[in-house]
Amino acid sequence: MNFLFDLVAQGAQMLLALALAPLLIGFVRKLKARLLHRKGPPIIQPWRDIIRLLRKEVVLAENASWLYRSAPYLIFAMTWVAASLVPTFATGLMFSWAADLIAIIALLGSARFFLALAGMDIGTSFGGIGSSREAMFGSLAEPATIMIVFTVSFVAGTTQLSEIAAYMAGNLELRASVGMALVALLIVAIAENGRVPVDNPATHLELTMVHEAMVLEYSGRYLALIELASALKLLLYISLIACVFFPVGLARHDAGLQAMAIGLGAYVLKLAIGEGLLALFETSRAKMRVFRVPDFLGAGLMLGLLATLLVFVTRSL
Amino acid sequence: MNGSGERSIERLGGLIHSMPKTAFLFLGGCVAISALPPLNGFVSEWLVFQAILLSPSLPQWTVKLLVPAVGVALALSATLGAGCYIRAYGVAFLGRPRSEAARTATDPDRWSLGTMAVLLTMCLMAGLLPSLVIDTISPAAKDFVGGRMPTQAELSWLSIAPVAESRSSYNGLLVFVFILFSAYSARWIIHKFGSARSRRAPAWDCGYIETSPMTQYTGSSFAQPIRRTLGVIAFSVKERLDMPAPGDMRPARLSIEIKDRIFDYLYAPLTRAVETCASGLNILSLLTIQEYLALVFGALVFLLVLVAI
């Protein structure tokens, strides 16, 4: 019975992540439109787009290879698995021990690897520009993420995300190192999801494209999967920030239905707050030049490193 | 390389069509070496990171503070490695062929393919079942460093947990099965309820018509952003644009100067020192016979004094 309950909870989390991710995109678009005094499309619009795309036929470029056709499924699967391993409403779910925080980051790295390869497969210059810029951002963002992981793991004594969340919920205190790690993680999250100061998800202007340039040739169900994967990635980062730095309301896996319902409510609230802040930030910023992005990411990397060193020094004294 | 007879990566491209089997095996190798889950490279990287996380309990201060820096270096090199293999694979195997040799390349014979396949299978096994590999090599590790990890095979579900079950664990097999399951179920559901149709058409490329394959991103253009951001520090890269004055018919040229700092600051002083010593000692070969005798005598006395002390 217990086993069954665990399995249902894990399945529910996977489906929840999948269902919420496009809504999240819709919500942030709606908020941004409202902030600019426009009406904006309904929140459900990204789901409608995705379903519409899934029904359409795919137009493949003439020299697309098998890699190009299987990459969307792989990218979607890797992102989905990574997103479902992050605690959303409850910690210690059934498969949460299968991969720790480092593995989740690395799964996203795998998805990026295949996306960059798919961008180069058709042999057009737009795909290449996207892939090479993505490789540059990735080479700075991933070490920064690893540093943040180090900081958080040193504090909590583990890299297992559920354990970290449980530790953080049990020891609510202000730490300078954790604060730095939070700022660094926000920087990385903005860069990794291609949000405004780094990349503009709403544009197809060639000078600004990174993510959109790589997926330029995709259409139909492949495009739907990639859109879904990038929505899941945004959800993953917000959930990660929420569960590590604001673990209020998270239920334990054996806590029963009521605690889980509270956890779910808290989770949705946290997502909404995160999205609100993101929309506010995006409308008040202009996009930066591509070669300014390394400075931005470099600040994230340095903050991560400083946070790690700070933990080391304070721990050893 | 053998299949196309071409050594420059800038003249390859599109090998995934002409050498499909090699392309698949090479992709596996790239994923493994870029330390991406679920292959073996990631397991090793993960274990190193776990070791780094244990470092606050080390007694030596210098080592303790050095370890996080090593962590950054490792993370940076892992992602740069991934970028490098995206570049290698993307330029050589993907895209459109840049030369006739790349277009007509063929897969190598069965033995070469077999060797690569065996190596890839080993990568996959080590990635999916790391506990078995760790247990196999831990006696050797014990002889070397005097310590060993707890036996991994006893843990449930073939996962690995280097320190203790409650702290951190990783299960390559489960992650792999999970990914395959999600990918295939997504494919099945989409093909059943969505659409499975596809049609071939010329590439879209924002409306540009088909141009020469030479307009594709090459290895050097792919590396340019990384060279600009990190190359200045690591290799003191200088870019020089030689722009002719208006009316001048000369073509404009962009040249890049790359210096290896390790060579400049470590090897170059060493060679200079050796050269000064050698030219200083050169006068010894032009002495008279008396001076030689005096030198030999002096050297003997010096050596005897050394022995006496």
Q: Give residue A225's pLDDT.
A: 94
Which residue matches tokens 């203790």? B164
Q: Rounded to an integer, what distance in angstroms lies between the CA atom of residue B87 and that of residue B82?
A: 9
| Peptide bond preceding B38 in cis form (omega within 30 of 0) | yes
Q: Mean pLDDT, to the nearest integer, of A141-160? A: 86
CA B171 to chain centre: 25
pLDDT digits (tens, 9 = 90+) for A34-75: 999 999 899 999 999 999 999 988 988 888 889 999 999 999
Q: Which residues of B touch A76 (CB under 8 A)?
A: 182-183, 186
Q: Give residue B308's pLDDT.
A: 81
First to last CA, chain B: 63
Q: Give residue A186's pLDDT.
A: 92
Which of A76, A77, A146 is the closest to B75 by Cβ?
A146
What is A213-278 written as a DSSP string? Answer: HHTTT--HHHHHHHHHHHHHHHHHHHHHHHHHH--TTPBPTTS-HHHHHHHHHHHHHHHHHHHHHH
Q: What percent of chain B has pLDDT over 90?
A: 2
> Which of A20-29, A257-266, B31-40, B141-150 shows the lowest per-residue confidence on average (mean pLDDT)?
B141-150
Q: Do B82 and A117 make contact, defined as CB atoms within 8 angstroms?
A: no
Q: Mean pLDDT, to the nearest integer, of A205-234? A: 85
What is A120-158 written as a DSSP string? Answer: HHS--HHHHHHHHHHHHHHHHHHHHHHHHHHHHHHHHT-
Q: Rounded to an integer, what distance in angstroms lies between the CA atom of residue B286 and that of residue A33?
A: 89
pLDDT, averaged across chain B: 79
First to last CA, chain A: 48
Question: Which amino acid, one-letter code, is at B302?
Answer: F
For residue A122, pLDDT beyond 50 = yes
Output DSSP code: residue A90: B
Q: Do B76 and A139 make contact, defined as CB atoms within 8 angstroms?
A: yes
Which residue matches tokens 């879209």? B204
- Which of A189-203, A219-233, A257-271 ranks highest by mean pLDDT? A219-233
Which residue matches tokens 């843990």? B155
Q: Give residue B165's pLDDT.
A: 47
Q: Which residue range is the domain that position A55 belongs to?
A: 2-316
- State the pLDDT confidence band at A111, using cuts at 50, 70 and 90: very high
Q: What are phi and psi of A14, to 5 degrees?
A: -60, -45
Q: Which residues of B touch A206 (CB under 8 A)?
A: 206
- Which of A3-12, B81-90, B148-157, B198-207 ranks highest by mean pLDDT? B81-90
Q: Which residues of A touch B187 (CB under 8 A)?
A: 73
What is chain B written as a DSSP string? Answer: -TTTT---GGG---HHHHSHHHHHHHHHHHHHHTT-TTSHHHHHHHHHHHHHHTGGG-S-HHHHHHHHHHHHHHHHHHHHHHHHHHHHHHHHTSSS-SSHHHHT-----HHHHHHHHHHHHHHHHHHH-HHHHHHHHHHHHHHHHS--PPPSTTSGGG-B-SS-TTT--B-HHHHHHHHHHHHHHHHHHHHHHS---EEEE---GGGPPP--GGGS--HHHHHHHHIIIIIHHHH--EEEEEPPPTT--SPPEEEEE---HHIIIIIHHHHHHHHHHHHHHGGGGG--HHHHHHHHHHHHHHHHHHHH-
Task: Collect all residues with Cβ–Cβ distance below 8 Å to A107 and sequence separation of at least 6.
Answer: A78, A79, A81, A82, A99, B37, B175
Q: Which residues of B touch A198 (CB under 8 A)?
A: none
- Which of A167-176, A271-280, B152-161 ranks highest by mean pLDDT? A271-280
The number of distinct structural domains making up chain A is: 1
Which of A73, A117, A305 is the closest to B89 by Cβ?
A117
* CA quadruple A272, A274, A278, A280: dihedral sign: positive
Of the two residues B10 and A140, the one the predictor is more confident about is A140
Q: Which residues of B touch A77 (CB under 8 A)?
A: 178-183, 186
Q: Rounded to an integer, what distance in angstroms lies between the CA atom of residue A300 and that of residue A182?
A: 10
Which of B13, B16, B195 is the closest to A67 by Cβ?
B16
| Closest chain A residue to B69, measured at CA | A305
Which ipTM did the prediction report? Answer: 0.86
pLDDT, averaged across chain A: 86
CA distance A276 to chain B (A): 31
Which of B95, B199, B200 is the closest to A121 by Cβ?
B95
Q: Do A221 and B194 make contact, defined as CB atoms within 8 angstroms?
A: yes
Q: Give residue A117's pLDDT.
A: 92
Q: Mean pLDDT, to the nearest integer, of B264-282? A: 83
Closest CA to B90 of B13, B144, B17: B13
